[in-house]
Amino acid sequence: MTDTKTVKITYREALKQGLREALINNQKVFLMGEDVGRYGGAFAVSKGFLQEFGTDRIMDVPLSESGFVGAGIGAALGGMRPIVEVMTVNFSLLALDQIINNAATLLHMSGGQINVPVVIRMNSGIGNQLAAQHSHSWEPFYAHVPGLKVLSVGTHEDARGMLATALEFLDPVIIFEYTSLLNIESEIPFDAGAMDIDKAKVRRQGKDLSIITYGPGVYKALAAAEELMLSGIDVEVIDLRVLNPIDNTTIMNSVIKTHRVLIVEEAWRSVSVSSEIISRIMEGAFFDLDVPVRRLCGIEVPIPYAKHLEDASIPQKEDIVESVHNMMQHD
């Protein structure tokens, strides 16, 4: 029997290790963003990097998202491998012209002649009482755009390994990282490395019901599955991981296997990733369902500051457990 050695680290440290490895392995890789250098990153992910790699590789930028995201796109066109950090996802709205009208379209508009290998990291999600200013889940918006590969980092292993693979991709990649996970510890293989960025992943095998989720929903769904097992309900948990393009095969295989689906998402319910997943299941596996698909999404309000209201605005483990019980009783 093989003894797999593991190490316990925080989500923040996993991100940091992946970023540092990318900078070491390829001299064309550099990091640019607000406060990534002297301050060490808004969430301390790049702390110490300025001293280690210097100002040519770790670049503090002015408070102009359109300006520095555009500069990152230009550097990618020039043969570099830029990692552009947008401090929080709400600030990315100021760079939509660059991301959507330039990065996502140049390959098509040039007739396949121009690739844009830029990686844009955004801190996303709800939590830490950042209120309506900084608590947003804009994943559905970016997942809507052709020409962008959109990744959601819902586990420590992906936090450690997704960046390396994204930097090999020739087209623009958006990576959503999550504020609420930064201080959470988990064990990963000590030699964890580059991760696949093409497919969803079954995080837990089950036979009674499929929970499909991404981002912070992954650990909540896994915790709910353990509690539900005490009641004899065996839940499968699927981490979408890649929000554009969505991995249809993994989803459909799970639906055919369990015949019941609950989708969990922090983003607002209307026009969400869950809306798309439900549509695909209706189109591709309707007759395999024993009960209607259900979803738990963020309440459609600007996110409150007060902790108890913030918690109430997004799905929690207890909500998942209750919804699964209701679905099984309905059946």
Structural domain count, the chain: 2
pLDDT at 1 over 70: no
Are 56 and 146 part of one and the same domain? yes
Are 235 and 95 part of one and the same domain? no
Are 153 and 209 part of one and the same domain? no
Domain that holds residue 97: 6-189
Q: Does residue 77 sit within a domain?
A: yes
Q: Does residue 120 sit within a domain?
A: yes
CATH code, domain carrying 305:
3.40.50.920
Q: Which of 189, 216, 236 is the last residue of a domain?
A: 189
Are 61 and 130 part of one and the same domain? yes
Per-residue pLDDT of 38-74, as tens digits, reads 999 999 999 999 999 999 999 999 999 999 999 999 9
**Reported confidence tier of residue 2, pLDDT bands at 50, 70, 90:** very low
Per-residue pLDDT of 226-240, as tens digits, reads 999 999 999 999 999
Q: Is 310 tagged catalytic? A: no
Which whole number is the average pLDDT over 258-277?
96
Per-residue pLDDT of 293-302, as tens digits, reads 999 999 999 9
Per-residue pLDDT of 135-194, as tens digits, reads 899 999 999 999 999 999 999 999 999 999 999 999 999 999 999 999 999 999 988 889
Which whole number is the average pLDDT over 129-137?
84
SS (H, E, C) the chain: CCCCCEEEEEHHHHHHHHHHHHHHHCCCEEEEECCCCCCCCCCCCCCCHHHHHCCCCEEECCCCHHHHHHHHHHHHHCCCEEEEEECCHHHHHHHHHHHHHHHCCHHHHCCCCCCCCCEEEEEEECCCCCHHHHCECCHHHHHCCCCCEEEECCCHHHHHHHHHHHCCCCCCEEEEEEHHHCCCEEEEECCCCCCCCCCCEEEECCCCEEEEECCCHHHHHHHHHHHHHCCCCCEEEEECCEEECCCHHHHHHHHHHHCCEEEEEEEECCCCHHHHHHHHHHHHHHHHCCCCCEEEEECCCCCCCCHHHHHHCCCCHHHHHHHHHHHHHHC
Which whole number is the average pLDDT over 200-222?
98
pLDDT at 3 over 60: no
Are 91 and 213 part of one and the same domain? no
Query: Model-level pTM greater than 0.85?
Result: yes
**Catalytic residue selected from 13, 34, 65, 266:** 65
pLDDT at 101 over 60: yes
CATH code, domain carrying 23:
3.40.50.970
What per-residue confidence (pLDDT) applies to 330? Answer: 64
**Catalytic residue selected from 34, 85, 134, 236:** 134
Q: Is 65 tagged catalytic? A: yes
